[in-house]
Amino acid sequence: MNAVHPAPTTSRQANKGLTGGLIAGLIAGLIIAIVLFADYGPANDLRTAASWIGLDHSSAARLIGFFVLIILGGIFGLLFGFAMSRMPNTLGRSIVAGLITGFVWWLIVVPIISVLIHNMHFDFGSYLYYFVPLLAYGMLLGTIYYQRTRRAYL
């Protein structure tokens, strides 16, 4: 005989979505930070991530950039989890929402924070450079979130 489980409350479902989004965002941010650590020499691309918040002038800029990617990954993962907790979760919907999240990160953080807030010179080449890694972040975010929430309901 199948047991009937009560439907989760809205706040409970939202909490699972936020937690799942945070964890998925942190994991996806960590993976992207590791990939960028190995790409083009020893962590040269992580200095750019540190420059987004204006902390690229120290000797620890690469380490700061590593943690910036993880922290921003968690923040955007929270936003993703908040949005996904309000709609039915399918693999396709999670991946598309993750790609949109990566695109929004690329669209907001790279030009707005680095150019407008820190008065940095806008370099279109470096702006486009982070497009693919942040879309990869979005795909990772969507798939990790889907796997975590799917397991939670089984």
pLDDT digits (tens, 9 = 90+) for 7-60: 344 677 778 889 999 999 999 999 999 988 887 666 677 887 887 777 777 788
pLDDT digits (tens, 9 = 90+) for 76-107: 999 999 999 888 889 999 999 999 999 999 98
Find out whether 145 and 102 touch, Cβ atoms under 8 Å: no
The model scores a pTM over 0.85: no
pLDDT at 30: 96
| Non-local CB neighbours of 50 within 8 Å, separated by 6+ positions | 56, 61, 62, 64, 65, 68
